[in-house]
Amino acid sequence: MTNQAPIDALADVLPLTARANITGVLQIGGCSVRDLAAAFGTPLYVYDEHTIRQICRQYLRDFQAHLPGARAHYAGKAWLSPALTALLVEEGFGLDVVSAGELHVAIAGGMDPEHVAFHGNGKTPHELEYALDAGVGRIIVDNDDELTVLDQLTRERASEQRIMLRITPGVDAQTHAKTTTGLRDSKFGFPLPSGQAEAALVRALEAPFLDVTGFHIHLGSPLFNVEPYADGIATIGEFAAEMKQRHGYEWREFSPGGGMALTYTADRVAPATESYAVQIAEAIHTACDTHGLPMPDVHIEPGRSVVGRAGLALYSVVSRKHIPDTRDYVTVDGGMSDNIRPAMYDSKYEAAAAEQMNTVPGLVATIAGKFCESGDVLVRDAQLPALQLGELIAIPASGAYQIAMESNYNLSLRPAVVMVNDGDARLVRRRQTLDDLLHLEL
Protein backbone atom coordinates (compact mmCIF):
# COMPACT_ATOMS: atom_id res chain seq x y z
CA MET A 1 0.00 0.00 0.00
CA THR A 2 1.33 3.38 -0.96
CA ASN A 3 1.94 6.00 1.70
CA GLN A 4 1.66 8.86 -0.76
CA ALA A 5 -1.35 11.11 -1.15
CA PRO A 6 -3.23 10.28 -4.39
CA ILE A 7 -2.41 13.65 -5.96
CA ASP A 8 1.27 12.58 -5.90
CA ALA A 9 0.90 8.82 -6.34
CA LEU A 10 -1.20 9.34 -9.47
CA ALA A 11 0.85 12.14 -11.02
CA ASP A 12 1.72 10.06 -14.14
CA VAL A 13 -1.88 9.06 -14.75
CA LEU A 14 -3.83 12.25 -14.08
CA PRO A 15 -4.13 15.06 -16.65
CA LEU A 16 -1.15 17.44 -16.73
CA THR A 17 -3.09 20.23 -15.01
CA ALA A 18 -4.28 18.10 -12.07
CA ARG A 19 -3.88 19.77 -8.68
CA ALA A 20 -5.44 19.32 -5.27
CA ASN A 21 -6.69 22.39 -3.44
CA ILE A 22 -6.02 22.87 0.25
CA THR A 23 -9.11 20.88 1.26
CA GLY A 24 -8.09 18.02 -1.04
CA VAL A 25 -10.52 18.57 -3.91
CA LEU A 26 -9.14 17.60 -7.30
CA GLN A 27 -8.88 20.37 -9.87
CA ILE A 28 -8.43 19.85 -13.59
CA GLY A 29 -7.72 22.74 -15.93
CA GLY A 30 -8.26 25.12 -13.04
CA CYS A 31 -11.77 23.75 -12.37
CA SER A 32 -12.74 21.97 -9.17
CA VAL A 33 -14.31 18.61 -9.92
CA ARG A 34 -16.80 19.30 -7.11
CA ASP A 35 -18.00 22.39 -9.01
CA LEU A 36 -18.08 20.45 -12.27
CA ALA A 37 -20.17 17.68 -10.71
CA ALA A 38 -22.52 20.25 -9.19
CA ALA A 39 -22.93 22.04 -12.52
CA PHE A 40 -23.12 19.07 -14.90
CA GLY A 41 -23.95 16.03 -12.75
CA THR A 42 -22.28 12.62 -12.74
CA PRO A 43 -21.18 10.41 -14.38
CA LEU A 44 -19.20 13.11 -16.10
CA TYR A 45 -16.32 12.89 -18.56
CA VAL A 46 -13.90 15.76 -18.05
CA TYR A 47 -11.31 16.44 -20.76
CA ASP A 48 -8.33 18.68 -20.14
CA GLU A 49 -7.63 20.74 -23.24
CA HIS A 50 -4.08 21.57 -22.18
CA THR A 51 -3.12 17.88 -21.93
CA ILE A 52 -4.44 17.11 -25.42
CA ARG A 53 -2.61 20.07 -26.95
CA GLN A 54 0.67 19.27 -25.19
CA ILE A 55 0.58 15.66 -26.33
CA CYS A 56 -0.21 16.65 -29.93
CA ARG A 57 2.74 19.06 -29.93
CA GLN A 58 5.03 16.46 -28.43
CA TYR A 59 4.10 13.92 -31.11
CA LEU A 60 4.79 16.33 -33.94
CA ARG A 61 8.00 17.63 -32.35
CA ASP A 62 9.45 14.18 -31.60
CA PHE A 63 8.51 12.54 -34.88
CA GLN A 64 9.47 15.46 -37.10
CA ALA A 65 12.83 15.65 -35.29
CA HIS A 66 13.63 12.13 -36.51
CA LEU A 67 11.48 11.95 -39.63
CA PRO A 68 11.26 15.36 -41.31
CA GLY A 69 7.83 15.92 -42.79
CA ALA A 70 6.19 13.25 -40.63
CA ARG A 71 2.46 13.73 -40.23
CA ALA A 72 0.11 12.63 -37.48
CA HIS A 73 -3.42 11.34 -37.96
CA TYR A 74 -5.34 10.94 -34.73
CA ALA A 75 -7.28 7.65 -34.66
CA GLY A 76 -10.81 8.93 -34.16
CA LYS A 77 -12.16 5.65 -32.92
CA ALA A 78 -10.55 6.35 -29.53
CA TRP A 79 -12.99 9.28 -29.04
CA LEU A 80 -14.33 11.68 -31.62
CA SER A 81 -16.41 14.81 -31.31
CA PRO A 82 -16.61 18.11 -33.18
CA ALA A 83 -15.00 19.90 -30.21
CA LEU A 84 -12.02 17.56 -30.23
CA THR A 85 -11.73 17.78 -34.02
CA ALA A 86 -11.53 21.57 -33.87
CA LEU A 87 -8.68 21.27 -31.41
CA LEU A 88 -6.83 18.72 -33.55
CA VAL A 89 -7.13 21.01 -36.57
CA GLU A 90 -5.53 23.83 -34.58
CA GLU A 91 -2.70 21.51 -33.54
CA GLY A 92 -1.98 20.44 -37.12
CA PHE A 93 -3.25 16.87 -36.77
CA GLY A 94 -5.08 14.94 -39.46
CA LEU A 95 -7.53 12.16 -38.68
CA ASP A 96 -8.10 8.44 -39.19
CA VAL A 97 -11.72 7.43 -39.50
CA VAL A 98 -13.28 3.98 -39.72
CA SER A 99 -16.85 4.76 -40.70
CA ALA A 100 -19.07 7.25 -42.51
CA GLY A 101 -20.17 8.34 -39.03
CA GLU A 102 -16.67 9.30 -37.96
CA LEU A 103 -16.09 11.06 -41.26
CA HIS A 104 -19.33 12.99 -40.82
CA VAL A 105 -18.39 14.17 -37.32
CA ALA A 106 -14.86 15.03 -38.47
CA ILE A 107 -16.20 17.23 -41.25
CA ALA A 108 -18.70 18.83 -38.85
CA GLY A 109 -15.75 19.63 -36.57
CA GLY A 110 -13.91 21.41 -39.38
CA MET A 111 -11.39 18.77 -40.47
CA ASP A 112 -10.26 19.16 -44.08
CA PRO A 113 -11.16 15.80 -45.71
CA GLU A 114 -7.82 15.95 -47.50
CA HIS A 115 -6.23 15.23 -44.10
CA VAL A 116 -8.44 12.23 -43.45
CA ALA A 117 -7.46 8.58 -43.94
CA PHE A 118 -10.30 6.08 -44.14
CA HIS A 119 -9.66 2.67 -42.55
CA GLY A 120 -11.54 -0.53 -41.92
CA ASN A 121 -12.03 -4.10 -43.08
CA GLY A 122 -15.73 -3.68 -43.70
CA LYS A 123 -16.25 -0.39 -45.48
CA THR A 124 -19.61 -0.65 -47.22
CA PRO A 125 -20.07 0.55 -50.81
CA HIS A 126 -22.19 3.36 -49.36
CA GLU A 127 -19.37 4.41 -47.03
CA LEU A 128 -16.84 4.32 -49.85
CA GLU A 129 -19.08 6.57 -51.95
CA TYR A 130 -19.47 8.93 -49.02
CA ALA A 131 -15.69 9.08 -48.65
CA LEU A 132 -15.14 9.68 -52.38
CA ASP A 133 -17.81 12.42 -52.40
CA ALA A 134 -16.22 14.06 -49.38
CA GLY A 135 -12.77 13.93 -50.99
CA VAL A 136 -10.85 12.07 -48.29
CA GLY A 137 -7.10 12.28 -48.74
CA ARG A 138 -6.44 8.56 -48.54
CA ILE A 139 -8.38 5.35 -48.37
CA ILE A 140 -6.48 2.57 -46.63
CA VAL A 141 -7.58 -0.45 -48.67
CA ASP A 142 -7.93 -3.58 -46.56
CA ASN A 143 -8.97 -6.42 -48.87
CA ASP A 144 -9.65 -7.60 -52.43
CA ASP A 145 -13.37 -6.95 -52.41
CA GLU A 146 -12.83 -3.38 -51.32
CA LEU A 147 -10.28 -2.96 -54.11
CA THR A 148 -12.84 -4.18 -56.64
CA VAL A 149 -15.52 -1.79 -55.43
CA LEU A 150 -13.13 1.17 -55.30
CA ASP A 151 -11.79 0.42 -58.77
CA GLN A 152 -15.33 0.39 -60.10
CA LEU A 153 -16.50 3.50 -58.23
CA THR A 154 -13.50 5.55 -59.31
CA ARG A 155 -13.93 4.45 -62.95
CA GLU A 156 -17.58 5.50 -62.87
CA ARG A 157 -16.58 8.87 -61.51
CA ALA A 158 -13.44 9.13 -63.60
CA SER A 159 -11.79 10.69 -60.57
CA GLU A 160 -8.48 9.72 -59.05
CA GLN A 161 -8.21 8.49 -55.46
CA ARG A 162 -5.04 8.06 -53.42
CA ILE A 163 -4.91 4.78 -51.53
CA MET A 164 -2.55 2.91 -49.25
CA LEU A 165 -2.57 -0.86 -48.90
CA ARG A 166 -2.94 -2.27 -45.43
CA ILE A 167 -0.50 -5.13 -45.08
CA THR A 168 -0.54 -7.77 -42.32
CA PRO A 169 3.16 -8.42 -41.76
CA GLY A 170 2.79 -11.46 -39.48
CA VAL A 171 4.29 -9.84 -36.36
CA ASP A 172 3.22 -10.65 -32.80
CA ALA A 173 2.77 -7.34 -31.01
CA GLN A 174 2.53 -9.05 -27.59
CA THR A 175 -0.68 -7.42 -26.50
CA HIS A 176 -4.23 -8.56 -25.70
CA ALA A 177 -5.66 -11.12 -28.17
CA LYS A 178 -8.58 -8.78 -28.85
CA THR A 179 -6.29 -5.91 -29.81
CA THR A 180 -3.52 -7.62 -31.74
CA THR A 181 -3.87 -7.01 -35.47
CA GLY A 182 -0.56 -7.75 -37.16
CA LEU A 183 -0.66 -11.54 -37.03
CA ARG A 184 -1.12 -13.66 -40.16
CA ASP A 185 -4.47 -14.90 -38.86
CA SER A 186 -6.06 -11.45 -38.57
CA LYS A 187 -9.28 -10.13 -40.05
CA PHE A 188 -7.37 -6.98 -41.04
CA GLY A 189 -5.24 -6.35 -44.09
CA PHE A 190 -3.59 -8.18 -46.98
CA PRO A 191 -1.47 -11.09 -45.68
CA LEU A 192 2.12 -10.66 -46.75
CA PRO A 193 3.70 -14.14 -46.58
CA SER A 194 0.95 -15.76 -48.68
CA GLY A 195 1.58 -13.45 -51.64
CA GLN A 196 -1.83 -11.77 -51.30
CA ALA A 197 -0.24 -8.41 -50.54
CA GLU A 198 1.77 -8.53 -53.74
CA ALA A 199 -1.25 -9.60 -55.78
CA ALA A 200 -3.21 -6.67 -54.34
CA LEU A 201 -0.49 -4.22 -55.30
CA VAL A 202 -0.42 -5.54 -58.85
CA ARG A 203 -4.18 -5.17 -59.14
CA ALA A 204 -4.16 -1.69 -57.61
CA LEU A 205 -1.43 -0.52 -59.98
CA GLU A 206 -3.57 -1.65 -62.93
CA ALA A 207 -6.62 0.30 -61.68
CA PRO A 208 -6.66 3.47 -63.80
CA PHE A 209 -7.95 5.82 -61.12
CA LEU A 210 -6.21 4.44 -58.03
CA ASP A 211 -2.93 6.03 -56.99
CA VAL A 212 -1.10 3.73 -54.55
CA THR A 213 0.97 6.04 -52.34
CA GLY A 214 2.39 3.28 -50.16
CA PHE A 215 1.83 0.76 -47.41
CA HIS A 216 0.22 0.75 -44.02
CA ILE A 217 0.65 -1.56 -41.05
CA HIS A 218 -0.98 -1.50 -37.63
CA LEU A 219 0.29 -4.11 -35.23
CA GLY A 220 -2.16 -3.75 -32.37
CA SER A 221 -2.42 -1.76 -29.19
CA PRO A 222 -1.45 -0.74 -26.64
CA LEU A 223 2.20 -1.59 -27.36
CA PHE A 224 4.21 -1.07 -24.19
CA ASN A 225 7.30 -2.37 -26.02
CA VAL A 226 8.63 -0.42 -28.95
CA GLU A 227 10.37 -3.43 -30.57
CA PRO A 228 7.39 -4.78 -32.53
CA TYR A 229 7.44 -1.60 -34.62
CA ALA A 230 11.00 -2.40 -35.70
CA ASP A 231 10.04 -5.97 -36.61
CA GLY A 232 7.01 -4.84 -38.57
CA ILE A 233 8.92 -2.13 -40.42
CA ALA A 234 11.80 -4.48 -41.30
CA THR A 235 9.30 -6.90 -42.80
CA ILE A 236 7.47 -4.24 -44.76
CA GLY A 237 10.79 -2.76 -45.92
CA GLU A 238 11.74 -6.10 -47.45
CA PHE A 239 8.35 -6.26 -49.10
CA ALA A 240 8.74 -2.73 -50.48
CA ALA A 241 12.15 -3.70 -51.89
CA GLU A 242 10.71 -6.77 -53.61
CA MET A 243 7.89 -4.72 -55.09
CA LYS A 244 10.43 -2.28 -56.47
CA GLN A 245 12.48 -5.09 -58.01
CA ARG A 246 9.60 -7.08 -59.41
CA HIS A 247 7.12 -4.35 -60.37
CA GLY A 248 9.16 -1.15 -60.47
CA TYR A 249 6.92 0.21 -57.73
CA GLU A 250 8.37 2.73 -55.24
CA TRP A 251 6.57 3.70 -52.05
CA ARG A 252 6.09 7.42 -51.42
CA GLU A 253 4.28 7.07 -48.11
CA PHE A 254 4.33 4.64 -45.21
CA SER A 255 2.33 4.35 -42.01
CA PRO A 256 3.48 2.28 -39.02
CA GLY A 257 -0.03 2.69 -37.54
CA GLY A 258 -0.88 3.58 -33.96
CA GLY A 259 -0.95 1.62 -30.74
CA MET A 260 1.37 3.83 -28.71
CA ALA A 261 0.66 2.94 -25.10
CA LEU A 262 -0.99 4.95 -22.37
CA THR A 263 -0.15 4.93 -18.67
CA TYR A 264 -3.30 3.52 -17.08
CA THR A 265 -1.78 2.51 -13.75
CA ALA A 266 1.11 4.00 -11.81
CA ASP A 267 3.09 0.74 -11.98
CA ARG A 268 3.13 0.44 -15.79
CA VAL A 269 4.38 3.62 -17.39
CA ALA A 270 4.10 3.96 -21.16
CA PRO A 271 7.27 4.67 -23.17
CA ALA A 272 7.86 8.32 -24.03
CA THR A 273 6.71 9.55 -27.44
CA GLU A 274 10.34 10.06 -28.27
CA SER A 275 11.11 6.34 -27.78
CA TYR A 276 8.52 5.43 -30.37
CA ALA A 277 9.82 8.15 -32.68
CA VAL A 278 13.43 6.95 -32.40
CA GLN A 279 12.54 3.30 -32.87
CA ILE A 280 10.26 3.89 -35.84
CA ALA A 281 12.63 6.36 -37.51
CA GLU A 282 15.64 4.08 -37.11
CA ALA A 283 13.77 1.12 -38.52
CA ILE A 284 12.60 3.08 -41.56
CA HIS A 285 16.05 4.54 -42.20
CA THR A 286 17.59 1.09 -41.89
CA ALA A 287 15.07 -0.43 -44.29
CA CYS A 288 15.67 2.30 -46.86
CA ASP A 289 19.47 2.13 -46.56
CA THR A 290 19.52 -1.66 -46.70
CA HIS A 291 17.32 -1.94 -49.76
CA GLY A 292 18.10 1.31 -51.56
CA LEU A 293 14.56 2.58 -51.18
CA PRO A 294 13.55 6.26 -51.17
CA MET A 295 12.55 7.63 -47.75
CA PRO A 296 8.76 7.67 -47.64
CA ASP A 297 6.65 10.35 -45.96
CA VAL A 298 5.59 8.87 -42.65
CA HIS A 299 2.09 9.11 -41.20
CA ILE A 300 1.63 8.00 -37.61
CA GLU A 301 -1.79 7.18 -36.15
CA PRO A 302 -1.86 7.49 -32.38
CA GLY A 303 -5.29 7.32 -30.77
CA ARG A 304 -5.47 6.40 -27.08
CA SER A 305 -2.19 8.10 -26.21
CA VAL A 306 -3.45 11.45 -27.54
CA VAL A 307 -6.67 11.68 -25.52
CA GLY A 308 -6.46 8.98 -22.84
CA ARG A 309 -4.58 10.95 -20.22
CA ALA A 310 -6.63 14.09 -20.80
CA GLY A 311 -9.86 12.34 -19.85
CA LEU A 312 -11.12 11.77 -16.34
CA ALA A 313 -14.27 9.80 -15.52
CA LEU A 314 -16.09 11.28 -12.55
CA TYR A 315 -18.68 9.24 -10.65
CA SER A 316 -20.67 9.55 -7.43
CA VAL A 317 -20.82 6.83 -4.80
CA VAL A 318 -24.36 5.43 -4.68
CA SER A 319 -23.96 2.47 -2.32
CA ARG A 320 -21.39 0.67 -0.17
CA LYS A 321 -21.22 -2.89 1.05
CA HIS A 322 -18.88 -4.60 3.48
CA ILE A 323 -18.79 -8.40 3.27
CA PRO A 324 -17.01 -9.58 6.44
CA ASP A 325 -13.67 -11.29 5.77
CA THR A 326 -14.29 -10.98 2.04
CA ARG A 327 -14.45 -7.64 0.34
CA ASP A 328 -15.69 -4.06 0.38
CA TYR A 329 -17.71 -2.86 -2.59
CA VAL A 330 -18.33 0.73 -3.55
CA THR A 331 -20.94 1.14 -6.29
CA VAL A 332 -20.89 4.23 -8.47
CA ASP A 333 -23.49 5.78 -10.77
CA GLY A 334 -21.77 4.61 -13.99
CA GLY A 335 -19.95 1.51 -15.15
CA MET A 336 -19.85 -0.72 -18.19
CA SER A 337 -22.16 1.50 -20.26
CA ASP A 338 -19.54 4.26 -20.21
CA ASN A 339 -16.48 2.04 -19.69
CA ILE A 340 -16.64 -1.44 -21.21
CA ARG A 341 -12.86 -1.90 -21.14
CA PRO A 342 -12.51 -3.76 -17.82
CA ALA A 343 -15.23 -6.23 -18.88
CA MET A 344 -13.90 -6.59 -22.43
CA TYR A 345 -10.12 -6.51 -21.99
CA ASP A 346 -9.58 -6.94 -18.23
CA SER A 347 -8.23 -3.40 -18.29
CA LYS A 348 -6.75 -2.01 -15.11
CA TYR A 349 -7.20 1.51 -13.79
CA GLU A 350 -6.36 3.65 -10.81
CA ALA A 351 -9.12 5.31 -8.81
CA ALA A 352 -9.18 8.10 -6.27
CA ALA A 353 -11.60 9.81 -3.93
CA ALA A 354 -11.67 13.08 -5.83
CA GLU A 355 -12.49 15.18 -2.78
CA GLN A 356 -9.74 13.63 -0.61
CA MET A 357 -6.71 13.90 -2.87
CA ASN A 358 -4.38 14.86 0.00
CA THR A 359 -5.39 11.89 2.17
CA VAL A 360 -3.29 8.73 2.15
CA PRO A 361 -5.79 5.92 1.48
CA GLY A 362 -6.19 3.40 4.28
CA LEU A 363 -8.73 0.93 2.88
CA VAL A 364 -9.07 -1.42 -0.04
CA ALA A 365 -12.37 -1.52 -1.91
CA THR A 366 -13.63 -2.71 -5.26
CA ILE A 367 -15.40 -0.13 -7.38
CA ALA A 368 -18.43 -1.69 -8.99
CA GLY A 369 -20.54 -0.27 -11.78
CA LYS A 370 -24.33 -0.07 -11.44
CA PHE A 371 -25.19 -2.43 -14.32
CA CYS A 372 -26.83 -5.80 -14.03
CA GLU A 373 -23.75 -7.89 -14.75
CA SER A 374 -21.34 -9.36 -12.21
CA GLY A 375 -18.57 -8.50 -14.64
CA ASP A 376 -19.37 -4.81 -14.33
CA VAL A 377 -16.47 -3.96 -12.04
CA LEU A 378 -14.44 -0.84 -12.83
CA VAL A 379 -11.47 -1.24 -10.48
CA ARG A 380 -10.66 -4.24 -8.32
CA ASP A 381 -8.98 -3.64 -4.97
CA ALA A 382 -8.58 0.11 -5.27
CA GLN A 383 -6.83 1.94 -2.44
CA LEU A 384 -9.33 4.41 -1.06
CA PRO A 385 -10.09 6.35 2.09
CA ALA A 386 -13.42 5.92 3.90
CA LEU A 387 -16.14 7.22 1.58
CA GLN A 388 -19.46 8.93 2.17
CA LEU A 389 -22.50 8.41 -0.01
CA GLY A 390 -22.48 10.91 -2.85
CA GLU A 391 -18.72 11.41 -2.68
CA LEU A 392 -16.89 11.77 -5.98
CA ILE A 393 -14.71 9.01 -7.41
CA ALA A 394 -12.30 9.89 -10.20
CA ILE A 395 -10.92 7.30 -12.61
CA PRO A 396 -8.00 8.79 -14.55
CA ALA A 397 -6.75 7.75 -18.00
CA SER A 398 -10.37 7.50 -19.10
CA GLY A 399 -10.20 9.58 -22.26
CA ALA A 400 -9.88 6.79 -24.85
CA TYR A 401 -12.19 3.93 -25.90
CA GLN A 402 -14.66 4.65 -23.12
CA ILE A 403 -17.35 7.03 -24.28
CA ALA A 404 -16.35 5.99 -27.81
CA MET A 405 -17.60 2.48 -26.93
CA GLU A 406 -20.49 3.58 -24.72
CA SER A 407 -23.94 2.04 -24.82
CA ASN A 408 -27.37 2.60 -23.41
CA TYR A 409 -27.23 -0.74 -21.59
CA ASN A 410 -29.97 -0.99 -18.96
CA LEU A 411 -31.30 2.10 -20.74
CA SER A 412 -28.91 4.22 -18.78
CA LEU A 413 -28.28 7.76 -19.97
CA ARG A 414 -25.04 8.59 -21.74
CA PRO A 415 -22.92 10.95 -19.68
CA ALA A 416 -22.19 14.59 -20.35
CA VAL A 417 -18.75 15.59 -21.63
CA VAL A 418 -17.07 18.77 -20.51
CA MET A 419 -13.83 20.33 -21.75
CA VAL A 420 -11.85 22.35 -19.20
CA ASN A 421 -9.11 24.91 -19.73
CA ASP A 422 -7.70 27.76 -17.63
CA GLY A 423 -10.57 27.77 -15.16
CA ASP A 424 -13.21 27.55 -17.89
CA ALA A 425 -15.58 24.60 -18.28
CA ARG A 426 -17.26 24.13 -21.64
CA LEU A 427 -20.02 21.54 -21.98
CA VAL A 428 -19.22 19.87 -25.33
CA ARG A 429 -21.90 17.19 -25.08
CA ARG A 430 -25.02 17.35 -22.96
CA ARG A 431 -26.18 14.41 -20.89
CA GLN A 432 -28.84 12.24 -22.50
CA THR A 433 -32.34 12.66 -21.16
CA LEU A 434 -35.00 10.05 -20.53
CA ASP A 435 -36.89 11.38 -23.57
CA ASP A 436 -33.80 10.81 -25.74
CA LEU A 437 -34.30 7.11 -25.05
CA LEU A 438 -37.60 7.25 -26.94
CA HIS A 439 -36.45 9.36 -29.89
CA LEU A 440 -35.66 6.51 -32.25
CA GLU A 441 -38.62 4.37 -31.27
CA LEU A 442 -41.58 4.40 -33.67
Ligand X SMILES: *Cc1c(COP(=O)(O)O)cnc(C)c1O
* Residue 141 vs residues 33, 188, 228, 432: alpha-carbon distances, Å: 44, 10, 22, 36
Per CB under 6 A, 48 contacts ligand X: no
Among 302, 361, 369, 385, indicate the residue that binds ligand X (CB under 6 A): 302
Among 137, 182, 222, 296, indicate the residue that binds ligand X (CB under 6 A): 222
Among 66, 71, 304, 370, indicate the residue that binds ligand X (CB under 6 A): 304
Q: Residues 309, 314, 318, 320: is their CA dihedral positive or negative? A: positive
Q: Is 381 strand, coil or helix?
A: strand
* Residue 34 vs residues 37, 379, 417: alpha-carbon distances, Å: 5, 21, 15
Per CB under 6 A, 218 contacts ligand X: yes
- Residues in 305-334 at the binding interface with ligand X, rule: CB under 6 A: 305
271 upstream amide cis, omega within 30 of 0: no
- Residues in 84-123 at the binding interface with ligand X, rule: CB under 6 A: 96, 119
Task: Give the distance, in angstroms, between the CA of residue 13 and the centroid of all CA atoms in the same chain.
Answer: 16
- Residues in 240-279 at the binding interface with ligand X, rule: CB under 6 A: 257-260
Task: Exactly one of 31, 56, 288, 372 is catalytic; name it.
Answer: 372
Per CB under 6 A, 299 contacts ligand X: no
Determine the interface stretch with ligand X among 241-249, 279-287, 298-306, 426-434 (rule: CB under 6 A).
298-306
Does residue 406 contact residue 337 with C-beta atoms inside 8 Å? yes
Cα of first residue to Cα of last residue in the chain, in angstroms, is: 54
The dihedral over CA atoms of 221, 332, 311, 306, expressed in degrees to the nearest 10, equals 0
Per CB under 6 A, 301 contacts ligand X: yes
Closest approach of ligand X to the CB of residue 233, in Å: 15
In the sheet with 26-28, reading across from the earlier edge strand, the strands are 19-20, 26-28, 31-32
Choice between 305 and 398, CB closer to ligand X: 305
- Distance from C-alpha of 189 to C-alpha of 327, rounded to nearest angstrom: 45
Residue 288 is among the residues annotated as catalytic for this protein: no
Choice between 115 and 119, CB closer to ligand X: 119
Residue count at the site for ligand X (CB under 6 A)? 17
Closest approach of ligand X to the CB of residue 117, in Å: 9
* Residues that are catalytic: 372
Q: Which residues bind ligand X (CB under 6 A)?
A: 75, 77-78, 96, 119, 218, 221-222, 257-260, 301-305
